Amino acid sequence: MSNSQKQNAFYAQSGGVTAVINASACGLIETARQHSDRIGKVYAGRNGIIGALTEDLIDTSQETDADIAALKYTPSGAFGSCRYKLKSLEENRAEYERLIEVFKAHNIGYFFYNGGGDSMDTAHKVSQLSETMGYPITCVGIPKTVDNDLPITDNCPGFGSVAKYVAVSIREAGFDVASMAKTSTKVFVMEVMGRHAGWIAAAGGLAAEKEGDSPHIILFPEIAFDKEKFLAKVDATVKQYGYCAVVVSEGAAYEDGTFLADSGTVDAFGHKQLGGVAPVVAQMVKDELGYKYHWAVADYLQRAARHIASQTDVDQAYAMGKAAVEFALAGKNAFMPAIVRESSSPYKWSVGEAALSEVANVEKMMPRDYISEDGMHITEKCREYLSPLIVGESYPTYKNGLPEYVTLKNIGVEKKLENAFKV
């Protein structure tokens, strides 16, 4: 391919960020730089796909190799991400056409979209439309989501690190509570992310390696909350072990679908109080059993916790970014690299592939046999699946006692289009 045919690439981060989405960006940009004979510049969307729609592109070639390498150790989305779901082709074809218009203006031949199910759907549609519009673009998805809900791939980059954070944290808090329970807190409740799927809550279960270990109870969104059964288990656990540690998913809900977090708390003005299932569960324990409680809500801390990222997760995130470029160069259009599990023990994995059409809008739920019969813990089968994903510690470097995370220059690319686009 002659130099004149060399095309640029566009990369965007999408949806909730993770501790390792920048590791995918690192793998992608480093690999693209190794193929400068075939890929021109890598442009990134400022604030994700919005940057493409508004022609607000970042020229990553202005970043040093050292800063790109540092992305591997930096949480969050270095170019900005957004929660912006493109409407269906029927509803807003103009958005897709605009994307292609921008890609064309900047000689972009490769579209890399780093996100979850919605993003894979978008990448798929762009691929289809670009063909019909006579400006074919190679579209490659890169899996990312702490929720671990993409199909086909063994797991989603971002999940392993939040899983490790949650397992480490509930182990540590469990030790703390156990040592004070005689005269102080007897029940500790930790709230974790996962509105629809209990993967993150399940990861907390890894900390319980032997009988009596923290956590004793896990509340999943998949299992309808049974107050009586829950309280009975809390009480029995306190009586047996002196304390009880609970991991609750933000998506935990009653049989009728009402989130526990929505169960009636109002503020001083009578407004329904938003968020926080942990305090609701803790208060329930206090009201019904009288035990002293404490609760924690990790919120963004869990998905931003690069300081305790899983090495496996970092490696896989990087590999997905790298493979995306290799896919593009091999002409694999409308695919997503995927993690293939070769074996669980020892954990062996390789890079496989998934057609975007098969990934788009499919949610991988927790199998019922990953949850114990009583619905409040994980099974051995689940442990076998989850355990390898948190293995290895990938520590950032520190300066003055704080992790050195990079902030890129993020220099914009000159606009070429006359028309603005309102998102």
Q: Which residues are catalytic?
A: 147
* Single residue of 38, 72, 186, 307 touching a second copy by CB under 8 A: 307
Tell me the pairing of strands 398-399 and 347-355.
unpaired
CA atoms of 205 and 171, how far apart (whole Å): 9
Cα-flanking dihedrals φ and ψ of residue 33, to 5°?
-65, -30
Our CB check for a second copy shows the closer of 62 and 185 to be 185
Tokens 């590791």 correspond to 23
Our CB check for a second copy shows the closer of 130 and 394 to be 394
* Single residue of 38, 233, 306, 364 touching a second copy by CB under 8 A: 306
* Single residue of 13, 119, 145, 316 touching a second copy by CB under 8 A: 13
Could you tell me if 86 and 94 are in contact, meaning their C-beta atoms sit under 8 angstroms apart?
Answer: no
| Site membership for a second copy, residue 405 (CB under 8 A) | yes
| Site membership for a second copy, residue 344 (CB under 8 A) | no
Our CB check for a second copy shows the closer of 209 and 342 to be 209
For residue 112, the cross-strand partners are: 11, 140
Exposure of 235 by Cβ count < 10 A (0-12 exposed, 13-18 middle, 19+ buried)? middle
* Single residue of 92, 179, 240, 258 touching a second copy by CB under 8 A: 179
* Single residue of 207, 218, 219, 323 touching a second copy by CB under 8 A: 207
Q: Which stretch binds a second copy (CB under 8 A): 185-193, 315-323, 326-334, 363-371?
A: 185-193
| Site membership for a second copy, residue 25 (CB under 8 A) | no
* Single residue of 81, 127, 249, 333 touching a second copy by CB under 8 A: 81
Our CB check for a second copy shows the closer of 75 and 117 to be 75
Our CB check for a second copy shows the closer of 164 and 216 to be 164
Our CB check for a second copy shows the closer of 107 and 344 to be 344
| Site membership for a second copy, residue 308 (CB under 8 A) | yes
Q: How far is CA 401 from the centre of its chain?
A: 27
Q: Which stretch binds a second copy (CB under 8 A): 111-119, 121-129, 144-152, 308-316?
A: 308-316
| Site membership for a second copy, residue 411 (CB under 8 A) | no
Query: Which residues from 140-169 bind a second copy, rule CB under 8 A?
Result: 164, 167-169
Cα-flanking dihedrals φ and ψ of residue 100, to 5°?
-70, -35
| Site membership for a second copy, residue 401 (CB under 8 A) | yes
Binding mask 239-278 for a second copy (x = CB under 8 A): ------------------------xxxxxx----xxxx-x
Tokens 């540690």 correspond to 245
| Site membership for a second copy, residue 173 (CB under 8 A) | yes
Exposure of 37 by Cβ count < 10 A (0-12 exposed, 13-18 middle, 19+ buried)? exposed
Query: Which residues from 38-77 bind a second copy, rule CB under 8 A?
Result: 47, 50, 74-77
Of 3, 97, 18, nearest to 306 (Cα)? 18
Query: Which residues from 279-298 bind a second copy, rule CB under 8 A?
Result: 279, 283, 286, 294-298
Per-residue tokens: 265: 């708390």
Of 368, 217, 348, 350, nearest to 282 (Cα)? 217
Report helix angle 311-329 to 21-34, nearest 10. 40
**Least separation in angstroms between CB 186 and a second copy:** 13
**Least separation in angstroms between CB 295 and a second copy:** 6
Task: Kindly state the DSSP code that residue 260 receives in the 8-state scheme.
Answer: G
Tell me the pairing of strands 398-399 and 402-403.
antiparallel
* Single residue of 88, 93, 258, 300 touching a second copy by CB under 8 A: 300
Residue type, 222: E
* Single residue of 136, 395, 411, 416 touching a second copy by CB under 8 A: 395
CA atoms of 20 and 310, how far apart (whole Å): 9
Of 412, 410, 403, nearest to 70 (Cα)? 403
Could you tell me if 421 and 345 are in contact, meaning their C-beta atoms sit under 8 angstroms apart?
Answer: no
CA atoms of 168 and 161, how far apart (whole Å): 10
| Site membership for a second copy, residue 194 (CB under 8 A) | no
Our CB check for a second copy shows the closer of 26 and 39 to be 26
Could you tell me if 12 and 45 are in contact, meaning their C-beta atoms sit under 8 angstroms apart?
Answer: yes
| Site membership for a second copy, residue 114 (CB under 8 A) | no
Our CB check for a second copy shows the closer of 109 and 215 to be 215
Phi/psi zone of residue 245: left (φ > 0), alpha (ψ -120 to 50 degrees), beta? beta
